[in-house]
Structure 1
Amino acid sequence: MSLQAVQVRRFVASRGTRPGRGASRVVAVGSGRGGTGTSLVAGLLAARATAAGHRTLLVDADPLVGSQHLLWGVGEGPGVAALRGGVIEPEELPVAVSSRLSIATLSVGGPDTTEAESRTLLRRIAVLFPSWDAVVVDAGSRRSSLRICRDLGVRTLLVVGQADPVGIATTHAFLKAAALDAPAIETPVLLNRTAAHEAERGTEVLREGVERFLDRPLRIAGSLPADTRLTAAMADGATLPGAFADSPLQGLADALLTQLLATVADR
C-alpha cells in the first residue's frame, strides 16, 4: 500500500461515521449515576445479540472504569491510545471472546492526551461498525456518556436508571442533558434492579417530569428486578455468561433486549 493510500485511509478513519450509518443495530447503554448496572446491561445486550446469531462488537467506551473484559474473562486489549502515531489500526482493537463476539476496550487517552485528541481517537472507532451485525457501546455512568455517543454517531442510548427518589432525579437530569446536548439521540429508559410495582410508580413520576419540563415523550424500555444470586456470583469472580446462565432474569431480560434490538434495527 502506497504512502498516499495509507494517509487517505487514516483520514477517512479519523472522521468516523455520521449518525445513521454503520451496522444495522448500534445501541449504547449509559447512565447519569454509577451503580445502576450499566455495564451489566450492556453485557447482557451483547450476549442477546450474539445468541440471536449476530456477529457482535461490544465497545467498552467508559474512559475511566472499563470493566467489560473482566465481566467476560478476556484480556483488556491495546486500548484506543495505541491508535496514536499509527501503532495499531482500529481493526486491531477488538479482542475475540468467541466466534461471534469481540470486545474493544477503549480506555480513552492517557496522562498526556488532550480531550480533543481523545475525542478524535474515539471517532476513529466508528469505522469498525459496518463490519459487524450488531454493535453495543458501554458508554459509562456519567454525563460524558452523551459526548461519547455523539462522537461515535450512536442514535439510540438506553438510559439505565432506578426507581428510588435519587434514581428518578438522576435519570431526569440525564434526560434533560440529552434533550439539550444530544436531541437527535433516542433515549429509552430501563429501570434496573426495580420490582414491577416500583417500576410502575417510578415511571409515572418520571413521565410527568419529562413531558412537563422537557416537552418530549418518555419511552420506557422496561424494567428488570434485582437478582441477588447473579450479583453474588459475579462478586465471586464468575464471568457474565456463567453467572447469567442460571439467573431467573434470563427470560425477562432476553425478551426485553430482543425487543430493543428489533426496534433499533427497524428505524
Structure 2
Amino acid sequence: SVWPLPGFLPDYFVTFARAAEAADARIVLNNLLPYAHLAFAENDPVRRLQLLAKAFLRADGEPYEPAKTFKKALLDRLPDLAERYLSAADAILEISDRLALFRMVEGTRAALTIADWLIARYEHLKRARGFLDFNDLITRTVNLLARPDAGPWVQYKLDQGIDHILLDEAQDTSPDQWEVVKRLAEEFFAGLGARDTVHRTVFAVGDEKQSIYSFQGAAPDSFADSRLLFAGKVRDANAAFADLKLTWSFRSTDDVLAAVDRVFADPVVRRGISHDPDPLN
C-alpha cells in the first residue's frame, strides 16, 4: 500500500502546506496541494493512488525535479523537502507499476479463459464435422511415421518417390515438422540400398533471427539442432555436407543489418534462438 505516503505523513503534510502558503509557492498551491487534499480524503485505494499521482507526478508520469519545481524560499524553509518528495514519488511509481502488472495479469487470465473456450469449441466442431487443420495433418503424420506397425511401410512407399527435400524458412519450422523431415530422410544416408544410383539431398535455408511464427510452434533453435544432426548423418555416410553462410542481404539496409547484428551479438540473446555457438550474422 502507498498509504500512509512515505515522506509525507499527515503531520508533515500540514507543515508542508503552511510553508508553501508562506513562500507563495504557486505550483504547490495550485497543482500539488489540491489533488493531495483529495487523496487524503479518499477511501478507495485505487482512486487515492490516481490522485496522488496527479499531485506528485508530472503529466508524463515522471517525478518533478525538486530544484526546478519548488521555490527556493520553500526549500529554505523545509531543507529535507526534496528528499521527502522523491521518496513519496518513488513509492507512488512503485505501487503504480505493481497495479499495472496486476491489471495485466488479470487481463491475461481473462484472455486465456476466452481462448480456452474458443479452442475447446473449435476442437469440438472439427471432430463433429470430421475436419482436420494444418496442425492436425502434421501431428497425424508424425504419429503415423512413428507407429511400429505402419511407419516403416509408409516410409518405404514414400522413399520410392522422394529424392530431394527442400525446406524454406527453416527458422519457422516446428519440432513436429522437423520430425517429419527427419523421418522422410531417414534412408537418404543409410548406406547401400535399392536406390544407390540416385543422388539424394536435403536442402534447408533459414535465418534464426527472422523467426516470427512461435505462435504456430516454430522453434528456431531446432534449425541449428537439425543442421548438426544431418551433418553427422551425411558425414557418417561419407557424403559431402555443406554449411553455407549468406553474408549479403539484398532486402535491407546497412543500418538495419548492423542493428540486428548488434542485438544478437549478446550471447544471452543468441541462446534464446539457437544452440549454435557461432555468431548469428
- Superposition TM-score tier, normalisation by shorter sequence: under 0.3
Q: TM-score, normalised by structure 1?
A: 0.24
Q: TM-score, normalised by structure 2?
A: 0.23
User: Structure 1 or 2: larger helix share?
Assistant: 2
**Higher RCO (C-alpha 8 Å, min separation 6):** 1
